[in-house]
Amino acid sequence: MTFADLGTAALRAALPLAIWGCAAAAYAAARRDGRGLASARWSALLVFVLIGLAVVAMEGALITHDFSVLYVARNNALDTPVFFTVISLWAALEGSILLWTVILAGATAYVAWRGTGELPRLGTTALAVLLGMVTFFLFLVTTPAADPFVRIDPPADGNGPNPLLQNHPLMALHPPLLYLGYVLFSVPFAYAIASLVLGEGGDRWLVATRRFALVSWALLGVGIVAGSWWSYAVLGWGGYWAWDPVENAAIMPWLVATAYLHSVMVEEKRRLLRTWNLSLVIATFALTILGTFLTRSGVVNSVHAFTQSAIGPLLLGYFVAIVVLSVGLLLWRLPRLADTGGIGAPLSREAIFLFQNVVFVAATLTVLLGTLYPLIVEALSGAQLSIGRPYFDRVEVPLALALLFLMGVGPQLPWHGASRATLERQFTAPVVAAAFGAVLAVAVGMRGPFAVLTYALAAFVAATVVQEFARGVRARRVLHDETALTALGSLLRRNGRRYGGYIVHLGIVVAAVAIATSESGTIQVEKTLAPGSDAMLRAGGYDIQLVGLRPVSEPQRELVVADLVVSGERAEARLAPALVFYPNATQAIGSPGIAARPHDDIYTILVAYDSRSYSWATIRVRVIPLVSWLWIGGLIVGIGAVVAALPQPRRRSAARAGIQTRAPAEG
């Protein structure tokens, strides 16, 4: 039995089992049947194991270069390095759908064994929803549309992975992160649907899925940053974000999920915005599917768009089914979801969260319509047009600044409303910090009002965070007689949700400063040089000299490498940007040479060269200030999310139990 047989058999066996489990869970939820639940639990676990087996089989087929499997023949070659062979699992459509399926099955198994214990009826209904989704994906991977194990007459050697995907080890990082983020949001969605189906207006589903939502949001966010890092290091144009449809597809659910993570607090504290929160969960989930559809069906052109396949209509059908069912359910249950009470004062935390939500949703709608606008216009009039960076930058930057502002204001305001004295106490230091930020921006030569405003708002938010930490630490030192460091530790441990959130805010601030500085301060110079000559390219205080230009042969590819020596007051570096030729690609792939330092990156690209005698090369140099801090900001966001997601000591779980006892008894 080959790996492919094993994989095919595992997937074929998992499909009926998932259908059975879905039916059993639905029955168990409707009839409160213990045996049904047990059956559904075991099916969920077994489905996960079987799909896991299929993933192992796919890796086995890849590593043994079994070219009788079409996927392997297309995405692997004998001389593909082992590392890229292993990660080829997500290098193309079928494999990434398989990865998606196994993550979903894993989350489902978790809910089956943990979730159904905590909240039996809600959890069991959610399990039925999740198993329904698993069924759909199993259906996908067992039809020709996305079957990863299609067999062919084996060629002598395979095509090898897509050149862009085998050019950099970062490829190992962002796709699984993004998929995890996308897929884990299925759990809050399934609970929301379950709560709608059961007609339970309570906020128990929120509590049950809070951590899932947070983790999924964080993975998506870190995945987006890792993806932009990849695109910066691989695509070779010196930027990290191009408003490409795939980037848009990833940022949209992240934006809505961010709105949700905040408005969910309003529901927890004040039992308001129930309909709104359900809508946000549904929208987030629907956008993950829509994004997958847009980028995997070939209807939009993108760096990442896989070749057109029959999967498009299936994914569209899935999207339509999800949206129609969940919006239908929501509209049906609206009367039960009406809030009792209003928000209250405009200067209260809940009001700021509400405005913040409005801005997030507006930003998302803008990205969505911008991405779809060429399709809409072509459908209406046949005209072809483009919506790109100039549009998105101009529209999203002001919205992002508004969000940065609200991010500083919100946490500083108490629930219900603030008095004038509170306002002064909370905002004097941050506003002074904003003034310093603005002056600093002008002093370091930031160009344009948006960049200066970013500095001011970043200082504003950073000051609010520092102020919060300082106050928290001081309070603990007085009350518990702790040292500053211990106090900080116990703040993070005992109230991780709040202080982890502040750390996330700090990460966003770092990223915002990095984006504003790198966008406004990049210097670009291009020059044609002769190797070995004394001619210099001058860019941003650095001298760049071309010392050599040489062809290099590697087993799986050919390169032309430009050897550069960078010298300047603050740096001495050797860089080697290259053009890479893969046997299966007609165009060369640019591989930039990057010197990454804290204050700036020197980003060099080999643009063109003399292919006959290697007598000249055109080099483009970008000096990009602070860009590394964007990745660091992403990391800080991740750390903050971990702090916020870690289980907290007893005090809080007792409080949560208290809330639950006050909620209506189940059933």
Partner 1 sequence: MPRWLRLAVVVAIAALVVVLILAFRREPTDVRTGTVGRPAAAFTLQQLDGSGPLTFGPTDGKVVVLNFFASWCIPCKQENPALVRAYERYRASDVVFIGILYQDSLESGQRYVRDNGVTWPTVNDDRGRVAFSYGVFGIPETFFIGADGIIAGRHTGPIDETTLTNAIECLRGKSADGARCIREGGR
Partner 2 sequence: MTRSRGILVVAMLVVLAAVGWSARPHEPSAEERVDRITAELRCVVCQGLSVKDSPSESARQMREIVAQRVTEGRTDEEIRDEFRASYGDWVVLAPPIASWTGLIWLVPVAALVAGIAVAWRRLGAAAAAPPAATADEVAALRRRVARAEADDE
How far is residue 489's CA from residue 473's CA, in Å, rounded to a whole number? 9
Q: Which of 42, 306, 355, 581 binds partner 2 (CB under 8 A)?
A: 355
Check residue 323 for interaction with partner 1 (CB under 8 A).
yes
For residue 244, state whether it binds partner 2 (rule: CB under 8 A): yes
Q: Is 324 in the site for partner 1 (CB under 8 A)?
A: yes
Interface with partner 1 (CB under 8 A), residue from 30, 56, 299, 525: 299
* Whether 496 contacts 648, CB under 8 Å: yes
- Min dist. Cβ of residue 614 to partner 2 (A): 18
Please report, as residue ranges, which positions from 84 to 143 form the binding site for partner 1 (by CB under 8 A): none
Q: Is 439 in the site for partner 2 (CB under 8 A)?
A: yes
Q: Does 372 bind partner 1 (CB under 8 A)?
A: yes
Q: How far apart are CA 253 and CA 186, in angstroms?
A: 12
Site for partner 2 in 567-596 (CB under 8 A): 590
Size of the site for partner 2 (CB under 8 A): 85
CB atoms within 10 A of CB 549: 23
Closest separation in Å from C-beta 527 to partner 2: 12
Stretch that binds partner 1, among 91-99, 372-380, 438-446, 479-487 (CB under 8 A): 372-380
Q: Binding marks (x or -) toward partner 1, 433..452, rule CB under 8 A?
A: --------------------
Asked whether position 434 contacts partner 2 by CB under 8 A, the answer is yes
DSSP 444-472: TT--SHHHHHHHHHHHHHHHHHHHHHHHH
> Is 389 a binder of partner 2 (CB under 8 A)?
yes
**216 vs 356, beta carbon nearer partner 2:** 356
Query: Is 385 or 485 the residue whose CB approaches partner 2 more closely?
Result: 385
Contacts of partner 1 in 580-599 (CB under 8 A)? 586
* Buried residues in 141-176 as b, exposed as e (16+ CB within 10 A): bbeebbbbbbeeeeeeebbbbbbbbbbbeebebbbb
**Residue 580 CB, nearest distance to partner 1 (Å)?**
16
What region, left, alpha or beta, does residue 192 occupy, with left being phi > 0 and alpha being psi -120 to 50 degrees? alpha
Nearest distance in Å: CB 579, partner 1: 13
Interface pick for partner 1 out of 16, 81, 313, 532 (rule CB under 8 A): 313
Q: Which of residues 501-540 bind partner 2 (CB under 8 A)?
A: 526
Residue placing its CB nearer to partner 2 in the complex, 172 or 440:
440
| Residue 226 vs 451, nearer CB to partner 2 | 451
Q: Which helix (H) or strand (E) holds 400?
A: helix 389-409
Q: What is the DSSP letter of 113?
A: I
- Torsion 120-121-127-128 (CA) sign: positive
Are the C-beta atoms of residues 219 and 177 closer than 8 Å to each other? Answer: yes
5, 118, 378, 424: which one binds partner 1 (CB under 8 A): 378
Options 8-16, 297-305, 412-420, 496-504: segment touching partner 1 (CB under 8 A): 297-305
Pairing of strands 578-581, 589-591: antiparallel
Q: How far apart are CA 660 and CA 14, in angstroms?
A: 36
| Interacting residue with partner 2 among 605, 636, 641, 645 (CB under 8 A) | 605
376 in contact with partner 1 (CB under 8 A): yes
Handedness of CA 128, 129, 134, 139 (dihedral sign): positive
Residues 6+ apart with CB under 8 A from 232: 238, 239, 240, 627
Does position 478 interact with partner 2 (CB under 8 A)? The reply is no
Q: The dihedral of CA 349, 353, 356, 358: what is its sign?
A: negative
Which of 224, 351, 544, 637: binder of partner 2 (CB under 8 A)? 351
If one asks whether residue 391 binds partner 2 (CB under 8 A), the answer comes out as yes
Nearer to partner 1 by Cβ, of 282 and 413: the residue is 282
Q: Is 429 exposed, middle or buried (0-12, 13-18, 19+ CB in 10 A)?
A: middle
Number of residues counted as binding partner 1 (CB under 8 A): 27
Which is nearer to partner 2, 57 or 627 (by Cβ)? 627
Number of helical (H) and strand (E) elements in the chain, helices listed first: 21, 10
Q: Could you tell me how far CA 619 lies from the centroid of its own chain?
A: 33
Separation of alpha carbons 141 and 315, rounded Å: 12
Contact 477, 424 (CB under 8 A): no
Contact flags string 381-420 toward partner 1, x per CB under 8 A: ---x------------------------------------
- How would you write 591-607 as a 3-class SS string? ECEEEECCCEEEEEEEE
Contacts of 485 by beta carbon, 8 Å cutoff, 6+ apart: none
Token code pair at residue 586: 């007609």
Query: Binding partner of residue 299 among partner 1, partner 2, none, CB under 5 to 8 Å per kind?
Result: partner 1
Note whether 293 binds partner 1 by CB under 8 A: yes
Identified binder of partner 2 from the candidate list 31, 35, 114, 269, rule CB under 8 A: 269
Run of H or E residues at 252: helix 245-270
Using alpha carbons, select from 472, 343, 350, 467 the residue that is nearest to residue 414.
350
> Nearest approach, Cβ of 276 to partner 2 (angstroms)?
10
Under 8 Å between Cβ of 33 and 27: yes
Considering beta carbons, is residue 97 or 273 the nearer one to partner 2?
Answer: 273
Interaction pattern, residues 607-646, with partner 1; x per rule: CB under 8 A: ----xx----------------------------------
Applying the rule CB under 8 A, the residues between 281 and 310 that interact with partner 2 are 301-303
Residue range at the interface with partner 1 (CB under 8 A); choices 147-155, 308-316, 461-469, 598-606: 308-316
Q: Does 297 bind partner 1 (CB under 8 A)?
A: yes
Residue 320 touches partner 1, criterion: CB under 8 A? yes
From the list 116-124, 219-227, 369-377, 573-581, the region that binds partner 1 by CB under 8 A is: 369-377
Task: Scan residues 527-586 and list those touching partner 1 (CB under 8 A).
Answer: 586
**Residue 378's binding partner out of partner 2, partner 1, none, with CB under 5 to 8 Å set by partner kind:** partner 1
> Do the Cβ atoms of 455 and 516 come closer than 8 Å?
yes
394 binds partner 2 (CB under 8 A): yes
CA dist., res. 175 & res. 84, Å (int): 13
Q: Between the CA of residue 88 and those of 96, 172, 340, what are the distances in Å?
A: 9, 9, 52
Residues that bind partner 1 (CB under 8 A): 275, 293, 297-301, 305, 312-313, 316, 319-320, 323-324, 327, 331, 334, 372, 375-376, 378-379, 384, 586, 611-612
